[in-house]
Amino acid sequence: MRFPRFLPFRVFLSLLALPGAVAAGAPAGKVKVWIALRDKGPAVAAASGTSARLFEDAPVYAPCLEQLRGAGVEIATVLKWQNRVSGWIEAARTGTVAGLSCVRGIEEMPRKALPVALPDPAPSAAEKSVALAKSSAQDFGAFQSLFIAVGAEELRDTLSAHGKVPGAGMRIAVMDADFMLGHKAFDSLFARGADGIVDQWDFVSDTSVAVSRAFGNSHGAQVLSQIAGNLPGVLQGLAPLARLLLYRTEDEVNERYVEEDFLAAAFERAVDSGAQVISISLGYRYDFDSGPNYPYAQMDGRRRPSSIAAVGAARRGAIVVVAIGNEGLTRDGAPTVTAPSDADSILAVGAVTGAGARCSYSSTGPAYDARLKPEVASLGCSMPLANPNTSIGTWTQSGTSFAAPVVAGVAALLRQLHPDSSGINAQRIRQALMTTAAGSGSPDNLTGNGLVRAAEAHRFLLPGPVTGMMVWRNGHRARVRWANVNPARAKAWDFRGRSRAVQGAYSPEGDLLITTPERMAPGAYILKIPPR
C-alpha cells in the first residue's frame, strides 16, 4: 500500500461505501494465492549447474504453468527470479493445487483492511495546499531550496559544466498506485514521446497503459513531480530529462489483497527494461483484514516477495530507493520498518525536517536481522509538489513517500556523473550516499545515516589525483591516455624534484595532450593531474 499522510475525504467516503469490494478483476468466489514452484525443468537445471543467477533469470517452467491452469488457477503474475506465481483459485481447490508435482507450497495472500484517514497534528492537505492554480517564483524557489538542502543543486551545476542536462539518458523506474499526469509539469515528458516514457505497464488491470493525462489526487504524479516534473517558473524535478519506466502496481479504491505480487513483477520488468534507478513509495506490513499483520520476524529482507525482488534488482545493478513508511516510532512494541524497505543492498529512506530531526511519522528500524534501517533520510515534512488536481498548481504534502524520490533523483544524478564506464557501480553509489550523509558519524535506526548530502557523495566518488610517468621525447607535446582528469591543472616534475611548466588538453580523439611552453630535455617526468 502507498504511504498517505492524509486520505482525501471524498475518497474515504467512497471506500466506506464499498464494504464488499474486491480487487479489480478479482474472479467471484475465488481467493488469491502465492504458489511456490519446485524447479524450472531439466534443461535449466543442467544449464545453470551451481549458478544461482542463471537459474533465477531463466523463465518459469512452461509445463508447470500449464499444470496450474489445468488445476483451475487463473495466473496473475509470474516471478522468474523467485520461481513463484500468484493467481486466483477456488478455495476448495487449493489442496489439489498443493498436490501438483511442480508445486512446493501454496498460501493465501493477506487481504487489506479499508484505509482510514490518519490523524495528524499538522494542517490538513487542503489547509496546506497552495492556491490551486497558483504559479509563482516563490513556488519555484521552494523546489530549488529543496535541492540545495540535499546538495543536489551542486550536482546539477557540475553536470551543466560538463555539457550535460540533468537526467538525460538515465532510466528511472517509478512504481506507484496511479499516474494521472494532467498537470503541465508533465507536458514536456509527453512531448518527448518514446524518449520520455520508455516503458509502462498497469499490473492491476494487466494492460500496457499505466499513464493518463487526467486530473485527480494522484500519488504517483506527486512523486514523479520531484523526479521529472518540468514547468519553468513553477517547478522542476531533479532529473527532468530522464527516461521513465512507469508501473502501476496498486489499486487504491478497490484493493483488498496485498499487491506485493504486482510490485515484485514490476521489479523484474524494470530491470529487464534497463532501469538504473528504481523509486518506490509503497510498503507492506500492516492493516490486513484477514490474518495478522506481517510479524516483525518477517522484516529481515528475505521473507516477503517484494523484498526478495528489491534485492534481486539491486544485485542486478539498479539503485533501489524505497520509502520506509509512515508508521511512526513503534507499533505493537516493535520497530515499524515495512517490506520492501527491509531489503538489503537498497536505500530505505526516512523523513527528516530541515533541521535534520526525524519527522514524527517516519517508520523506524532496525530490520529483524539487526541491519540498520533506514539507511539514509531526506526532507519529508511539507514537501513542495505538483498539485495533480490542477494544471499548474502546487501544494505541500508530508510523508516518506516524498522523501524517497528526492534520494532517487540524487542517485540518478550521481549515476550520470559516475557511469559504469568510470568503474563505479550502483553499490558504490549507495555506499557514497550513506558514508557522506549528515549523521554518518553516529547512525541510528531513526534516521539512519541522516540527511543525504549529494555534493559530498559526488566528491567521495571522485578518484584521487592521478600520478604517473610521462615519457618526453623531442618537441613540445606528449600523448597520455588518461581519462576523467582535469587537464588544465596538470603538473610535472623531473626526477630531481624540479617543477616543470606544462599544459594539458584533450584532443578531439579523446587523448590527453601535454604541452610545454618551454623546451624540456627528453626523458621521463612525473606527471600529476587531479580528477575532473
- Reported as a single tens digit per residue, the pLDDT across 343-387 is 999 999 999 998 889 999 999 999 999 999 999 999 998 888 999
108-166: pLDDT as tens digits: 998 866 554 433 334 344 433 433 333 344 456 666 777 788 989 889 888 988 889 99
**C-alpha–C-alpha distance, residues 89 and 93, integer Å:** 7
Asked whether the predicted pLDDT for residue 308 surpasses 90, the reply is yes
Tell me the residue ranges of DSSP E strands in 264-413: 277-280, 319-323, 347-352, 376-379, 383-386, 394-397
Please tell me the predicted confidence (pLDDT) of residue 143: 67
Asked whether the predicted pLDDT for residue 20 surpasses 70, the reply is no
Contact 374, 440 (CB under 8 A): no
Please tell me the predicted confidence (pLDDT) of residue 223: 97
Contact 416, 170 (CB under 8 A): yes
Asked whether the predicted pLDDT for residue 25 surpasses 70, the reply is no
309-337: pLDDT as tens digits: 999 999 999 999 999 999 999 887 899 99
> Over the chain, what is the mean pLDDT?
86
Locus of grid cell 584521487: 464
182-194: pLDDT as tens digits: 999 999 999 999 9
Please tell me the predicted confidence (pLDDT) of residue 92: 93
Closest CA to 358 of 304, 439, 457, 283: 439
460-484: pLDDT as tens digits: 888 778 788 888 887 778 888 776 6
Asked whether the predicted pLDDT for residue 13 surpasses 60, the reply is no
